[in-house]
Structures are given as structure tokens and as C-alpha cells.
């Protein structure tokens, strides 16, 4: 289905008023491939979007935008788990709601993360101690030039911190069409982050975790429907243990999270806040007053305004801490995705 206008404002949560030559909403893999092939036959760039919750449009887009709305949730059951096969176009938070309503715990820490199910593996979304890779069993993809479908196991997805094979080997000419999730019946709450640590592991329920996560996110993060933003703009940096030790000697109260590989994850929002950058503005873009990790569209911002602000934040943090932040958000130029780090360097 073609959209009657070509504004992308309602298709990106930053609410930037970029435009595209054409926008089509697609509901199945065959149509997705057909539309992609039609554009490529005339050397027109193509961009696949879910809900636009993790993109920054730098300019108008010179080609066709395909909105993935492949839907459906199928559930099978084994002795130890519920197995979900979920269409890539399903809304992620509504999926979390659905699983809890059905009595399938395991996604509660990931509540209120914006975007579609198909976007979740690309970023290996995570929050409050849980990442997608913990519950993902497989990802189904389609090769857009040929229409050939393929299933990747969780190991083949090569999940890392906000990273996956879908940012590399399968970034171009492939689309995610479904995700398989395994939710164990032996539920183990993850209560290591934020206000979740106050919950009693002996009496906590999945719904209590969900409610706490929703409360924390709503208190700290602006609603994209009200104030344009893409959630956490920067990745939390992961640094060597000795570098973390040096920083902790200077900042004993610095939040830090030791990783399994011996490195240490830091909180990018804390680093930005220590530089006194809340409220910093470049044009119509601003560092959020409550959560420094979020850059917002404070009024008629352009992609260039957000880039200028991200550059300023990166320079301040780099100068004070010798840590150079990297964007989580995908930067989209006139002809497709571009190097976000280079754009703000």
C-alpha cells in the first residue's frame, strides 16, 4: 500500500520532517521483495523501516521507504518453555504485554522499548539486565534480490552489546521477517538494575517487574509521541578494567558494571550529566533535562541540529573522561545509512 504523501515525520520518533520519494507499507515478505527489486531496477535507494524509533534522518531520502508490517504471533509449547514465532512488524511493547497476559514471563525487563519486533535483533535490544539474545532462539530473514528465506540460529546472529550480524554481513539486501523467542517456564527474575533491586526475589512476580520497569522508563524518558526523540542516543561505553579503575579512583560513585569478558560497562548518561550538559541546545535539538542520554527535538529540529548537538556532547565527554561516545541511533543520509561515528566526530 502506498502512502498518500511522502513526509517521514510520522515514521520517525524524532519527528523530523524529512521526506522520501515514496513510502509503502508492506504486509508480507513477497511484497517486500517485489518493492525492493522494483526500486533497485532503476537504481533507486531503498530504506526498510519498522517504527522509525532508532533512526535519524540527516536529509530527505532520495528513494523508496518500505514500512515492514509483517504480523502474527504463533505459540507452541514444550515441557520447559513457550516458543513464540513473531512477525517482524509486530510492535515490541504490545508483544511484551501479550506474553504477560498469556502467562508467559521473560520479557518484562524489556517493556516499553519502542519499535518493532524486527528491529530488536539488529540492536540486540536490552534494558535492566536483560538482552534479546537471552530469549532469542532464531531470526528469519529474506534475501531481497532473490526472495530466498533463511533461518539464523541465535549463535549465527552473533549478538553483542547493541550489535549483531544484521549490522554487518546481513545489513544490505536482507530483511528480518520474523523472530523466534524461547520463554522458559522456570522463570528467574532479573533484579540487578535500578529500582528492581528493591524487589524481593522470594515474592516478586513478572507483573511486578513489568510495572517497575514501566514506572522507571516513564519517569526518566520522554514520551516520543509528545517530545520527539529516539530513546538512548549513545551506547553505554565498555572500557578496559584498568581504565575503569583509574576513573573510579577519581569518581568513586561512578556507576559501573563489570562484564563477563573482564571489561567494564559505564553509564553514558552519567558521563554526560557530569559534564553539566542537561539542557544543552543546538538549534532545535536539546539534551533532555531529566535524562542526559536522550537527545530531543525541542522544536522544529533538523537532522543537522541533532548531529551538531551529538558532536558537542561527544567532545565534552571525550575531553573530560577520554571516553568517546558512539551513537546507538542509525544515521540515514539521502541515499541510505551512513557512518554515525564519523558524522559526529
Place of cell 549463535: 155
**For the chain, where are the E strands, in sequence order?**
20-26, 46-49, 55-57, 61-68, 73-77, 81-87, 126-127, 130-131, 136-143, 148-153, 174-184, 228-232, 238-239, 256-258, 264-266, 281-282, 285-287, 294-297, 330-333, 336-338
Backbone angles phi, psi at 104, to 5 degrees: -110, 90
CA dist list (Å): 34 to 39, 246, 286 = 9, 55, 40
Burial 201-210 (b: 16+ CB within 10 A, else e): eeebebebbb
Name the catalytic one among 53, 69, 131, 162: 162
Buried b (16+ CB within 10 A) or exposed e, 43-75: eebbbbbbbbbbbbbbebbebbbbbbbbeebee
CA-based nearest residue to 35, from 19, 24, 50, 21: 24
Map residue 134 onto helix, strand or coil: helix
Per the CB < 8 A criterion, the answer to whether 13 and 53 are in contact is yes
CA distance linking residue 288 with residue 292, whole number of Å: 6
Q: Which of 232, 282, 314, 330 is catalytic?
A: 232
Active site residue 246: no
CA distance 168 to 320: 32
Our answer to whether residue 232 is catalytic in this structure is: yes
Distance CA 50, CA 26 (A): 10
Q: Of the residues 51, 217, 328, 330, which is catalytic?
A: 328
Active site residues: 162, 232, 328
Amino acid at each position: 500500500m502506498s502512502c498518500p504523501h511522502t513526509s517521514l515525520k510520522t515514521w520517525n520518533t524524532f519527528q523530523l520532517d524529512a521526506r522520501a520519494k515514496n513510502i509503502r507499507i508492506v504486509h508480507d515478505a513477497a511484497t517486500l521483495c517485489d518493492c525492493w527489486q522494483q526500486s533497485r531496477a532503476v537504481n533507486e535507494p531503498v530504506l526498510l523501516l519498522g517504527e522509525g524509533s532508532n533512526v535519524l534522518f540527516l536529509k530527505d531520502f532520495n528513494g523508496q521507504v518500505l514500512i515492514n508490517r509483517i504480523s502474527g504471533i504463533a505459540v507452541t509449547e514444550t515441557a520447559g518453555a513457550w516458543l513464540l514465532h513473531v512477525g517482524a512488524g509486530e510492535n515490541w511493547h504490545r508483544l511484551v504485554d501479550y506474553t504477560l497476559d498469556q502467562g508467559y514471563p521473560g520479557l518484562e525487563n524489556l517493556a516499553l522499548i519502542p519499535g518493532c519486533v524486527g528491529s530488536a535483533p539488529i540492536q540486540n535490544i536490552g534494558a535492566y539486565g536483560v538482552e534479546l539474545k537471552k530469549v532469542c532462539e532464531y531470526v528469519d530473514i529474506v534475501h531481497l534480490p532473490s526472495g530466498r528465506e533463511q533461518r539464523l540460529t541465535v549463535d549465527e546472529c552473533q549478538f553483542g552489546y547493541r550489535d549483531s550480524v544484521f549490522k554487518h554481513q546481513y545489513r544490505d539486501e536482507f530483511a528480518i521477517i520474523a523472530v523466534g523467542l524461547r520463554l522458559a517456564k522456570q522463570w528467574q527474575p532479573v533484579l540487578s538494575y535500578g529500582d528492581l533491586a528493591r524487589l524481593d526475589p522470594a515474592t516478586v512476580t513478572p507483573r511486578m517487574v513489568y510495572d517497575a520497569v514501566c514506572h522507571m522508563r516513564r519517569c526518566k524518558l520522554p514520551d516520543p509521541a509528545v517530545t520527539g526523540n529516539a530513546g538512548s542516543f549513545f551506547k553505554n561505553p565498555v572500557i578496559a578494567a584498568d581504565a575503569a579503575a583509574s576513573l573510579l579512583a577519581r569518581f568513586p560513585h561512578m556507576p559501573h558494571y563489570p562484564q563477563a569478558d573482564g571489561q567494564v560497562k559505564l553509564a553514558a548518561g552519567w558521563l554526560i550529566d557530569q559534564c553539566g550538559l542537561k539542557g544543552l541546545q543546538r538549534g532545535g535539538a536539546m539534551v533532555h533535562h531529566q535524562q542526559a542520554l536522550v537527545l530531543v527535538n525541542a522544536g522544529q529540529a533538523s537532522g543537522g541540529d541533532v548531529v551538531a548537538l551529538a558532536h558537542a556532547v561527544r567532545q565534552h565527554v571525550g575531553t573530560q573522561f577520554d571516553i568517546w561516545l558512539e551513537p546507538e541511533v542509525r544515521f540515514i543520509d539521502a541515499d541510505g545509512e551512513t557512518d554515525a561515528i564519523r558524522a559526529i566526530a
